[in-house]
Copies of this chain bind each other. A is one copy, B any other.
């Protein structure tokens, strides 16, 4: 058992070296004939302009997602540590797979834009990771990363190239996809008894504060996420403004709803950590459309409420009825708001604010994202459960000490 994880990690890295050796070159090596109107230096300059946006997205991936998941009192090392591990793999594999799909198997010329797209493909896996957090082994996560990014790249190609759908902030292709993929895997990996709750599935005071580090960096940089791959300056500007507005509105309704549905009007940290971000997800698909500033506020307001209601009523129901245990509640942060995002774009087109796509194609994109996610997730779950194996026993769920040397005081907590 102790040799499986290092062996697979080293083999995967060795494969990346081979694949990059054959297929990946510097952007500056690209033959000028292929892009006759742009010299190397202007290409590099344009690439470097994206670097600050890349860094914002990068912070979301590593600090944002990593710390958001540290809310569990005994699973902080894995949350931030396995997040780093699978992101590092995902960035390499995402660069390769996305390059293959978009360049039809030819040489990939890597630039900052590829790095942003690789962060996006990785985000999908990290969302799904939230659904299975604490119930899966690091080796299983490495395999899931490889499979999920492959399916993601396929769906993204279908949505963007075939349907020509509009999804600048990837509400459908990243958020809804990642959530439903993770839920499907979680369903297959379900263990009896989880519906009764698990004694280690709890936060403690400081683990909730660590999680807020993740929440805030995600919240602040979400406008960069939704605008990073905009093609024109105006679209980028719109995506920034709309996302910013959706997020601020979302905070107010999330707080209101959390207090409303809470015990004696008290706020719940789970809602604050997650539902305040739903506005960023929900405005994603139409972030570059002229939906008016108040339109963004409305989308954000709805997202904040839907997300809290999901946490309060839907998540317990999913576990009890469908035997799907969603550790971080990704369905409420990414799933439902992702669907709201797709539907918003249909409404926006209906109202005539955008002609970039058609209602049919947007609906097809939403369907394709959810459909491929569920199918891909089910297959992945079966592979992880019956082929890869090595899932921890239920008693060891949500417990770092299975995979990490942990300081004495946390081991004693066990007793």
Residue ID in chain B nearest A19 by CB atoms = B294
Q: What CA separation (Å) do A89 and B256 show in the bound complex? A: 12
Partner of A13, one of B41, B85, B111, B249: B249
Partner of A259, one of B6, B66, B251: B6
Q: Could you say which of A172-180, A264-272, A318-326, A367-375 contacts chain B?
A: A264-272
Q: What CA separation (Å) do A200 and B249 show in the bound complex? A: 33
Is there contact, CB below 8 Å, between B248 and A92? yes
Q: What CA separation (Å) do A125 and B205 show in the bound complex? A: 26
Tier of interface size on chain A? 35 or more
- Chain B proximity of A133: nearest CB distance (Å): 16
Residue among A20, A88, A202, A253 with the most chain B CB within 10 A? A88
Which A residues between 281 and 327 are near B, CB-CB below 8 angstroms?
A: 290, 292-294, 297-298, 301
Partner of A240, one of B20, B51, B73: B51
Q: Which residues of A contact B (CB under 8 A)?
A: 1-3, 5-7, 9-10, 12-13, 16-18, 20-21, 24-28, 40-41, 44-45, 47-48, 51-52, 55-56, 58-59, 62-63, 66-67, 70, 73, 76-77, 80-81, 84-85, 88-89, 91-92, 110-112, 115, 138, 202-206, 208-210, 212-213, 216-217, 219-221, 224, 233-234, 236-238, 240-241, 244-245, 247-249, 251-253, 255-257, 259-260, 262-269, 272, 276, 290, 292-294, 297-298, 301, 403-410
